[in-house]
Amino acid sequence: MKEFAAFKNKADLLRKWSLISTTEATSGHPTSCLSAADLTAVLFEKYFTYDIADPLNNYNDRFVLSKGHAAPLLYAFFGVAGAYPLDELKTLRKFGSRFQGHPVPKFAYAEAATGSLGQGLSVGAGLALAAKREGLSSKTFVLTGDGELAEGQIWEAANFATHEKLDNLVAILDINRLAQSQPTMFGHQIEEYVNRFKAFGFEVIAIDGHNYEEIDRAFEKAVNNKNGKPTAIVAKTIKGKGISFLEDKDGWHGKALKKDELQKALAELGDVDDQARFALKKPSGKLMPANTDVKYRVATSFENGKEYATREVFGEVLASLVEQNKNLYVLDGDVMNSTFTEDVKKKTPDRFIECYIAEQNMVSVAVGLSRLGRVPFAATFGAFFTRAADQIRMARVSEANVKFAGSHVGVSIGEDGPSQMALEDIAMFGALPGAVVLQPADAWCTASLVQEMAAHTGIVYMRTLRPKTALLYSKDEHFEIGGSKLLRHSDHDELTVAATGITVFEALKAADELEKENIHIRVLDCYSIHPIDAAALNESVHATKQNLLVTVEDHFEHGGMGDFAAAALSDTGAHIIKMAVPDISQSGTKDELLHDAGIDAEHIAQKVRELCAVTA
Amino acid sequence: MKEFAAFKNKADLLRKWSLISTTEATSGHPTSCLSAADLTAVLFEKYFTYDIADPLNNYNDRFVLSKGHAAPLLYAFFGVAGAYPLDELKTLRKFGSRFQGHPVPKFAYAEAATGSLGQGLSVGAGLALAAKREGLSSKTFVLTGDGELAEGQIWEAANFATHEKLDNLVAILDINRLAQSQPTMFGHQIEEYVNRFKAFGFEVIAIDGHNYEEIDRAFEKAVNNKNGKPTAIVAKTIKGKGISFLEDKDGWHGKALKKDELQKALAELGDVDDQARFALKKPSGKLMPANTDVKYRVATSFENGKEYATREVFGEVLASLVEQNKNLYVLDGDVMNSTFTEDVKKKTPDRFIECYIAEQNMVSVAVGLSRLGRVPFAATFGAFFTRAADQIRMARVSEANVKFAGSHVGVSIGEDGPSQMALEDIAMFGALPGAVVLQPADAWCTASLVQEMAAHTGIVYMRTLRPKTALLYSKDEHFEIGGSKLLRHSDHDELTVAATGITVFEALKAADELEKENIHIRVLDCYSIHPIDAAALNESVHATKQNLLVTVEDHFEHGGMGDFAAAALSDTGAHIIKMAVPDISQSGTKDELLHDAGIDAEHIAQKVRELCAVTA
């Protein structure tokens, strides 16, 4: 058939350039590209709707390369689709090239950075969900390897896709039998995958991934599927397919062909029409990501003398923001009554996404939403964001605009004990270049920062507190990313205590206590942990008698606010004393645990007394 | 039947104390205990073999409470088994009590700390695997909730258990329909769970979780199962079962009864024999965890002038250690040819555990092995340990003795790009109290530290390098946790550069370059990042003209070695200049990327020149 000849020609063209580019780079994963070349050639030749001039058009179909190491194949696609000359593929993996070892945003056609496996189906579910909820006609295709199906996140995504009835999502499983170091768990036992995806509620189509008729029929069925089920095309393929000495051979993962091997391989491919191009169908509509650079105004009011949990204020303000801005989505991991995102569900259920207890999928779904220009807020206990540390890392590599709110931080949560306490979350988020980390201590600061968070482009993490806290500020106070508030100061202060979150109140109590002993200290509320207010820290330290900063935080010692403060003062010669949680905590009341961790008012006051005595 | 009456009596006794203890605590999850009371009463009454005097006896059956919030039920079990007076349960969730909000090692009968959901089946698989491989007759029972079945790790564990033919593992699924904030994804549609576990290769038994006959038959079948398949008992249960006003009601998750509600509830339970006790069968054998405090001697030899990748040396030395010590196990995530744990597989396949690309399960399996006194080494790319950040966090809460080796750290990996680079791993492991973080720069140091790592009790993380590096040391050199090596020094040094791993070589090159300009610097190899060698840093800084330390590392700026060094010098007033990777990297050669990140010899030399000029 003529159509099949076109498929074959395109597939071999993709093969050819996957081989050439990796040999040129002297590294890469050509055999992983070859197994998927037939599948993807058919998809692009016949089923993929896409405007190459506008990768961000929301009406475009979406192709997520979950098996990121097959990047040369992805790069070859868009070259054959006319996005750039094929010859540019020879810059693969070279410094400065858009064709990096694994896809990153520098390659404009990548829906997300991939390369940490098993995340693509979740990203695709995010793309498909937005399309579904907003009535866009686009389809999302996700190409996964078989090795990565061992990642649990795949099954989180599968549950989610079925539950959300994403029949606009097509998973293409490239079952080529061989993983990096050995055969996969199931090799070519296709039924193992078929059974699993069926059990998870997918429409499953098992095919020979090199038989164009079967591939074609599978895609035709998948794109016309309206039964509410996502589709999984389980394709039995041969790693290295098309080149005899590579086919189904172990030991070729992540190896480029040598020049002479390449010549042999190209000879086997025979005549391939280098001028052939995919003629992608253009979508009929155009919808570009909305401008998210919006300032928000949420009317909130807090009563003097009353106490508020910052997590509650977060939920309330976020719900108003979501109501006012249709780009905002909120994702929950079955803790909406703890993080108070339940307020969003009540007001705008269409922009609330229940991810159940599956934090990895939640974060990668958010990455998908971000790609379409939506602004996703993901919220769970701060401790449980560690469950998605890799997905958060990849969100950063993807340059995704995702907001994270972690409740129940620190030992101040009390009786639930250490498994529920976020005590390493500042280290985790803070290590990511450019990520913003905030921790408001009172309701007014929270209300303001939630809005700053939404308006900021890039990753922002907010720590919220379980216990209620008193009001420190008033309506007209201004808060900003990178700011701080000086809460106590006099003309004869001994030193500065920088605190954040719950420890602000402890520092204030300590200051009051010390005041009675005629020891005066400054207290700085570092509600912006990263970036930290270096200018205020400097000024504060220099305005006191001692060139000394005491930091107090409800976080482990390493990687917390204290380290940001120390870095900000590193060239001043200031002494830094970090007070933080020194060990795994336990159950108890908030006050018992703050005391036990040595970060309560009593310990702060005692530390200040010691420091003053030393230099007195 | 008399037997059933005994089951009911015990179940109600468990119910009674779950209710009393949570009311006493004024918090906790009584309804989550009640749904599982019948299941566990039958298990303990009739099927559980355990010596209460020796929780660590390897011949004991194992009970893992994956749904950690049902801790009061666990505490009630062992009370009813005679481990302590039931009245002590009234200290639940109180400061200092062994009965914490979620199980921790202070409760000697907890197999692992739980409370971050979805990890228990993996821990159980680790326990069952050791029993299987070592021919122990014990069974492992894991009680999971239904909400936590949404966690992907469950399916990683399921694949693993089937693949390893763990027919000594029994998962008890307490399908009580209600999660924290709402009904679960599947509610009481039991077949959703049945189909999934069947597809994953389990022997599945679906029952009414409150029907003693069905429960009894299920356990009888499960404990006699020898067909190579793990068992899943899918039990349809009622949350709050036994108390009319709690049964199947939303809004009762994580709520203790008020005193008057408790009275009403206890009245409903009626006469419960408080003196009834489980008479657990004692195991016939006794095998206590071996003393792991062993010193190792591995003969290694490296040729002067040759270069070695520290990851290769790691694999080689580890393989020798495993050969010499039967307690050691090695776990791989399908990268054994990159981390070089393939050396272990070749020599001692019985102590090599292939976990495929499922890092979360890998880490929790290791926690299970550690509980039995085995010493597990888990190895993958450093970047991919972020996938298991929560499991590593819980390993620390569990006080597990697990060793982690992360290869391919930093931008020095080159062409593969940012998704494969570990640049936040020091922040992650370093935040955990007491965790040791090591990074040897050459072969001799690696060979020595792998042995120190094995001999140390507690969590140790070693960073290994992808590229080969030159020898810096010789056979007789001594390395230790907390140590460092001064590689360059003179009597007229300007300042100190502290480096680690790949940057040691850059620092040395810079020193050589500067030497030509008559600028002398100290170079310190901080191969022990945590604990860092504070004494050497202090000494070095004080021995130089400038009270100044430059740290250089192939890691992001925050949370790395520089912050440990700064903390070590915080009270000295030394200026600290951190040189680290400032942003997401890209593809390129090692040298291009080190240069791009500003951490190569050229940048170090330039920084030193600037610092000397400032003060000259």
User: What does the alpha-carbon distance between residue B330 and residue B399 come to, in Å, rounded to a whole number?
Assistant: 19
Tokens 């993929």 found at: A48
Residue B267, judged by CB atoms within 10 A of its CB (0-12, 13-18, 19+), counts as exposed
Quote the minimal CA–CA distance from B150 to chain A in Å. 6
Q: Which of A95, A94, A123 is nearest to A111 (CA)?
A: A123
Q: Which of residues 287-316 of A touch B (CB under 8 A)?
A: none
What 3-state DSSP class applies to A213?
Answer: helix
Q: Which of B366, B552, B536 is nearest to B461 (CA)?
A: B366
Q: What is the pLDDT of residue A523?
A: 98
Residues of chain B neighbouring A530 (CB-CB closer than 8 A): 558
Task: Quote the longest CA-to-CA distance of chain B.
Answer: 94
Q: Do A152 and B155 touch (CB under 8 A)?
A: yes
> Do residues B196 and A200 touch, judged by C-beta distance below 8 A?
yes
User: What does the alpha-carbon distance between residue A58 and residue B590 come to, in Å, rounded to a whole number?
Assistant: 38
Share of chain B above pLDDT 90, in %: 94
- The alpha-helical segments, DSSP class H, found in B279-358 are 310-324, 336-339, 342-347
User: What does the alpha-carbon distance between residue B411 and residue A99 come to, in Å, rounded to a whole number?
Assistant: 17
The whole-number average pLDDT for the span B498-524 is 98
What 3-state DSSP class applies to B298?
Answer: coil
The whole-number average pLDDT for the span A455-467 is 97
Phi, psi of B380 (to 5 degrees): -160, -170
User: What does the alpha-carbon distance between residue B139 and residue A5 come to, in Å, rounded to a whole number?
Assistant: 58
Q: A100 to chain B: nearest residue by CA?
A: B587
User: What does the alpha-carbon distance between residue B411 and residue A300 come to, in Å, rounded to a whole number?
Assistant: 46
Residues of chain A neighbouring B358 (CB-CB closer than 8 A): 150-152
DSSP string, B592-608: HHHHHTT-SHHHHHHHH
Q: Which of residues 19-38 of A touch B (CB under 8 A)?
A: 25, 27-28
User: What does the alpha-carbon distance between residue B104 and residue B110 come to, in Å, rounded to a whole number?
Assistant: 7
> Do residues B367 and B391 touch, judged by C-beta distance below 8 A?
yes
Q: From the candidates B195, B359, B584, which should be mutated to test the interface with A, based on the most A CB atoms within 10 A?
A: B584
Q: Do B150 and A106 touch (CB under 8 A)?
A: no
Nearest to A179 among B198, B334, B389 (CB): B334
For residue A232, the Cα-to-chain-centroid distance in whole angstroms is 24
Q: What is the mean pLDDT of chain A?
A: 96
User: What does the alpha-carbon distance between residue B544 and residue B39 come to, in Å, rounded to a whole number?
Assistant: 69
pLDDT at B501 over 80: yes
Phi, psi of B360 (to 5 degrees): -65, -50
The whole-number average pLDDT for the span B431-435 is 98
Q: Which of B324, B306, B441, B459 is nearest to B394 (CA)?
A: B459
Q: From the candidates B27, B250, B336, B415, which should be mutated to test the interface with A, based on the most A CB atoms within 10 A?
A: B415
Residues in chain A: 616
Q: What is the pLDDT of residue B298?
A: 78
B590 part of contact set with chain A, CB < 8 Å: no
Residues of chain A neighbouring B421 (CB-CB closer than 8 A): none
pLDDT digits (tens, 9 = 90+) for A362-391: 999 999 999 999 999 999 999 999 999 999
Q: What is the pLDDT of residue A292?
A: 58
Q: Which of B171, B170, B175 is nearest to B192 (CA)?
A: B175
DSSP code of residue B47: I
The whole-number average pLDDT for the span B342-370 is 98
- H or E element in which residue A495 lies: strand A495-499
User: What does the alpha-carbon distance between residue A460 and residue A475 come to, in Å, rounded to a whole number?
Assistant: 23
User: What does the alpha-carbon distance between residue B450 and residue A19 come to, in Å, rounded to a whole number?
Assistant: 39
pLDDT at B8 over 80: yes
User: What does the alpha-carbon distance between residue B267 and residue B242 come to, in Å, rounded to a whole number?
Assistant: 11
User: What does the alpha-carbon distance between residue A243 and residue A266 come to, in Å, rounded to a whole number?
Assistant: 8
The whole-number average pLDDT for the span A214-242 is 98
Q: Which of B290-299, B567-576, B593-602 has the highest mean pLDDT?
A: B593-602
Which residues of B are known to be catalytic?
A: 359
Spell out the residues 6+ positions from residue A68 whose beta carbon is closer than 8 angstroms to its own.
A102, A103, A113, A114, A115, A116, A117, A120, B419
Q: Do A418 and B424 touch (CB under 8 A)?
A: no
DSSP code of residue A281: B
A614 part of contact set with chain B, CB < 8 Å: no
Q: Extract the tokens encoding A47.
A: 């089923």
User: Could you give the angle at the alpha carbon of B336 between the alpha carbons of B332 and B341, nearest 5°?
Assistant: 80
Q: Do A100 and B586 touch (CB under 8 A)?
A: yes
Phi, psi of A573 (to 5 degrees): 75, 10
B104 part of contact set with chain A, CB < 8 Å: yes
Q: What is the pLDDT of residue A444?
A: 97
Residues of chain A neighbouring B386 (CB-CB closer than 8 A): 389-390, 393
Q: Do B357 and A117 touch (CB under 8 A)?
A: yes
Would you tell me how many other CB atoms lie within 10 Å of the CB of residue B547? 16
Q: Which of residues 338-367 of B touch A (CB under 8 A)?
A: 338, 342, 354, 356-358, 360-361
Q: Do B390 and A386 touch (CB under 8 A)?
A: yes
Residues of chain B neighbouring A419 (CB-CB closer than 8 A): 68, 102, 104, 113-116, 394, 397
pLDDT at A535 over 60: yes
For residue A359, the Cα-to-chain-centroid distance in whole angstroms is 11
User: What does the alpha-carbon distance between residue B360 and residue A288 come to, in Å, rounded to a whole number?
Assistant: 38
**Lowest mean pLDDT across A300-304, B15-19, B257-261, B464-468:** A300-304
Q: What is the pLDDT of residue B573?
A: 83
Q: Do A423 and B431 touch (CB under 8 A)?
A: yes
Nearest to B101 among A100, A354, A587 (CB): A587
Nearest to A418 among B397, B570, B584 (CB): B397
B169-175: strand order across its sheet: B62-65, B140-145, B169-175, B231-236, B203-208
Q: Please tell me chain B's helix, strand, coil percentages from 3-state DSSP, rounded to the nearest 5.
A: 40, 15, 40
Spell out the residues 6+ positions from residue B342 whose beta carbon is closer than 8 angstroms to its own.
A181, B315, B332, B336
For residue B537, the Cα-to-chain-centroid distance in whole angstroms is 31
B196 part of contact set with chain A, CB < 8 Å: yes
Q: Do A116 and B384 touch (CB under 8 A)?
A: yes
The whole-number average pLDDT for the span B536-552 is 96
pLDDT at B489 over 90: yes
pLDDT at B616 over 80: no
DSSP code of residue B251: T
Nearest to A336 among B181, B198, B417 (CB): B181
User: What does the alpha-carbon distance between residue A405 and residue A450 come to, in Å, rounded to a whole number?
Assistant: 9
Phi, psi of A461 (to 5 degrees): -120, 130
Q: Which of residues 133-172 of B touch A (CB under 8 A)?
A: 147-148, 150-156, 159, 163
Q: Extract the tokens encoding B580.
A: 């680290």
Q: Which of A412, A477, A369 is nearest to A140 (CA)?
A: A369
Residue type, A239: K
- The alpha-helical segments, DSSP class H, found in A372-478 are 389-397, 425-431, 443-455
pLDDT at B407 over 70: yes
User: What does the alpha-carbon distance between residue A109 and residue B69 come to, in Å, rounded to a whole number?
Assistant: 45
DSSP string, A51-104: -TT-TT-TTS-EEEESSGGGHHHHHHHHHHTTSS-GGGGGGTT-TT-SS-SS--
Q: Which of B511, B487, B450 is nearest to B311 (CA)?
A: B450
User: Could you give the angle at the alpha carbon of A542 between the alpha carbons of A538 and A544, nearest 5°?
Assistant: 125
> Do residues A6 and A45 touch, judged by C-beta distance below 8 A?
yes
Spell out the residues 6+ positions from residue A87 whose beta carbon is closer than 8 angstroms to its own.
none
A428 part of contact set with chain B, CB < 8 Å: yes
Q: Please tell me chain A's helix, strand, coil percentages from 3-state DSSP, rounded to the nearest 5.
A: 40, 15, 40
A615 part of contact set with chain B, CB < 8 Å: no
| All structural domains of chain B | 2-269 (3.40.50.970), 308-469 (3.40.50.970), 486-615 (3.40.50.920)
User: What does the alpha-carbon distance between residue B193 and residue A330 come to, in Å, rounded to a whole number?
Assistant: 28
Phi, psi of A556 (to 5 degrees): -60, 165
The whole-number average pLDDT for the span A77-101 is 98
> Do residues A344 and A318 touch, judged by C-beta distance below 8 A?
yes
Residue B132 pLDDT class (50, 70, 90 cuts) = very high
CB pairs under 8 A between A and B: 348
Q: Which residues of B583-607 are buried (b: 16+ CB within 10 A; e: fewer)?
A: ebbbbbebbbbbbbbbbbbbbbbeb
User: For residue A266, what are the CA distances in angstroms to A12, A23, A34, A592?
Assistant: 10, 12, 13, 72
Spell out the residues 6+ positions from residue B123 whose beta carbon is closer than 8 angstroms to its own.
B64, B66, B111, B112, B114, B142, B364, B365, B367, B368, B371
pLDDT digits (tens, 9 = 90+) for B273-324: 999 999 999 999 898 887 655 556 777 899 999 999 999 999 999 999 999 9
Q: What is the pLDDT of residue B289?
A: 84
Which residues of A are known to be catalytic?
A: 359
Residue A298 pLDDT class (50, 70, 90 cuts) = confident
